[in-house]
Amino acid sequence: MALVTLDNIYLSYSDAPLFDHACLAIEEHDRMAIVGRNGAGKSTLLKIIEGLIKPDDGRCIVQQGIRIARLEQDPPAHLELPVYCYVAEGIPGIGSQLSAYYQLINDDSGADNSARMAEISCQLDKEEGWNYDTEIYRLLNLVGLSPETSMSSLSGGWLRKVALARALVSSPDLLLLDEPTNHIDIKSIIWLQDFLSSFRGAVVFISHDRSFINDVALRIADVDRGRISVFDGNYDSYVQAKQEALRLEEIANADFDRRLSIEEAWIRKGIKARLTRSDSRVRRLKEMRREHRERRARLGNVRMRIDDKEISGKIVLEAENLCFNNGEKDIIRDFSTIVLRGDKIGVVGANGVGKTTLIKMILGQLQPTSGTLKLGSNLKIAYFDQYREQLDPEKTVMDNLAHGKSEVEVAGRKQHVLGYLQDFLFSPQRARTPVKALSGGEKNRLLLARIFLRPCNILILDEPTNDLDIDTLDLLEELLDSYQATLIVVSHDRYFIDNVATDTWYFDGSGKIFENVGGYTDLKETLARMELSNGSEQKAKNSEPVKKEEPVQPKRDRKRKLSFKETKELEQLPQEIEKADGRIQEIEEIFAGVDYGSQSEEYKKNIQQEYNVLTERLEWLYQRWEELEKINNA
């Protein structure tokens, strides 16, 4: 018997129902990921499963006696409460008693609490509450937190870990997770993956982290236009199956529309035609009209554009022996690098190791303790803030974007603010909504819409993927892949870094920053080789010396293969070379034209600047093509 069964559930808050007679069954030991667009009803579905929301129609059947726990999406951030107490209060029945006992033990006011402690201890003895006390300490040790740590002192990533411990402490049969990877670092995500793989109960989780879904999920529940479709397998297999399902749906809709048009043509022939046919055909036509009206089209995709026509200098950023000390330790130590125009840098590392500190130094908000950080010429920086501090929660979506104006300028062209917001899936009604009423994904889309209005030649994104649905992530990746200027992106989304970054900076936690060519997968392979090499050296040092030296065979260097990103880059290079060379020839023809001398000085300056940039880029493209061809043919 399934743990939870949703039987023809119907729920509506507007004209379009959130769930339209949808069905779902969650089995024992299930590993189910819930995916869908922002606003499709994923979080509501978890609340229906938990019993917090009752559907308007249909049944939610829960197996008797099972325990369900849910990891909340936004754990409380400002509680003046020890983490032990927050976790304990997640236990039904005796959680408040454990919390009270802990606070009495740690009460330093000098009051005599012995009588009250004895009373609570007696109650806990009767209800076997001390077993939960042991479990709380075990879970807090597992996530790496001290029991007395105050909730108010924790960052977003640590809050998520405490919330997970609270959800697990009652040993649930079904664990519900809402965006469990938001705000936690890659090391913690991998730990969570391993934990969920060994968890004895069933797991149902919402996530937009495609690597996490691939590694954890055995089934995918797709929430789309009021219906729930379940696909076996991980994320990669789901993508193929979903594309096929949409293709078949399109064929079926086209066939339906063809038949409907035939019936509409028949009915328009008049009374005589209808009298010669059965009334059942008229009734069937009415039913087809109703079905056509109720058909729900797929929500359109976000249309994103970046104005990257402003060209920066060739060297965008240069750091030499850069250091930053917060008074207790070196956050960044002896970091030297050069970032060139067009580089796409992925920044990864654990929470609190200095990634945001480096961004703040680039933005000029912090000064290095020692060393130098030089920015290139003609830089126009656009910055995406992971905490969305640039948005005013009291103002509407429109006012946050256009500050009271009716038009915005997009890549040099005027566009009405409502039309521009519709490109980011904000309806006119939603555009007039205060920002505080938006979901996390909508806030991220609004901030992206806002920063993409600015002409920029260096784009700095700090955790841009949080709360964005997978379709929007795919489009953002395509946009950044074609972005011609410089990109620096901080992210814990491994899939995103693989698809966007040409180079990766890894913060190891000791203040050192390690640079590696390629995305996260390339970095992981490099670190694994380095660890293996260091382990072999250490093993050689510790081993006993051999009496007789054996002849050593010369070690062959392992041939380096092109990464997926480099292979894609190599395929595109001939077209880029041809495009750049063609434009150079066009400009040379302009220089030789009889009208060139009569053009304005500003026009001559711009065309000359474009020519200089293109010639430099063409030279670099040829060098890069030769470099990748050499690796590919080795």
- Asked whether residue 413 is marked as a ligand-binding residue, the answer is no
- Asked whether residue 42 is marked as a ligand-binding residue, the answer is yes
- Asked whether residue 38 is marked as a ligand-binding residue, the answer is yes
Residues 526 and 2: their CA atoms lie apart, in Å, by 44
- Asked whether residue 615 is marked as a ligand-binding residue, the answer is no
Q: By C-alpha distance, which of 9, 16, 18 is closest to 36?
A: 18
- Asked whether residue 327 is marked as a ligand-binding residue, the answer is no
| Residues 464/491, Cβ–Cβ less than 8 Å | yes
Q: How many other C-beta atoms can be found within 10 angstroms of the C-beta atom of residue 581?
A: 15
Residues forming beta bridges with residue 409, ordered by sequence position:
414
- Asked whether residue 441 is marked as a ligand-binding residue, the answer is no
- Asked whether residue 354 is marked as a ligand-binding residue, the answer is yes
- Asked whether residue 565 is marked as a ligand-binding residue, the answer is no
Name residues whose C-beta falls within 8 Å of residue 450's C-beta, 6 or more positions apart in sequence.
Answer: 390, 391, 400, 401
Residues 279 and 276: their CA atoms lie apart, in Å, by 9
DSSP 116-174: HHHHHHHHHHHTTTHHHHHHHHHHHHHHT--TT-BGGG--HHHHHHHHHHHHHTT--SE
Q: By C-alpha distance, which of 577, 367, 344 is closest to 480?
A: 344
**Strand pairing of 202-206 and 174-178?**
parallel
> CA gyration radius for the chain?
30
- Asked whether residue 39 is marked as a ligand-binding residue, the answer is yes
3-state helix, strand, coil in the chain (%, to 5): 45, 20, 35
Enclosing H/E stretch for 425: none
- Asked whether residue 395 is marked as a ligand-binding residue, the answer is no
Residues 157 and 77: their CA atoms lie apart, in Å, by 11
Enclosing H/E stretch for 79: none
- Asked whether residue 297 is marked as a ligand-binding residue, the answer is no
| Residues 234/213, Cβ–Cβ less than 8 Å | yes
- Asked whether residue 36 is marked as a ligand-binding residue, the answer is yes
CA torsion angle 604 609 611 615 (round to 10)? 160
Our CA angle for 186, 191, 197, nearest 5°, is 125
- Return phi, psi of residue 4, to 5°: -135, 135
The dihedral of CA 94, 99, 100, 106: what is its sign?
positive
Q: By C-alpha distance, which of 251, 304, 318, 625 is closest to 480?
A: 304
DSSP 471-506: HHHHHHHHHHHH--SEEEEE-S-HHHHHHH-SEEEE
- Asked whether residue 353 is marked as a ligand-binding residue, the answer is yes
Within 295-416, residue ranges assigned H as helices are 355-362, 397-402
- Asked whether residue 40 is marked as a ligand-binding residue, the answer is yes
| Residues 145/179, Cβ–Cβ less than 8 Å | no
Residues 481 and 487: their CA atoms lie apart, in Å, by 10
Give binding residues for ATP as ranges. Answer: 36-43, 349-356
Give binding residues as ranges. Answer: 36-43, 349-356
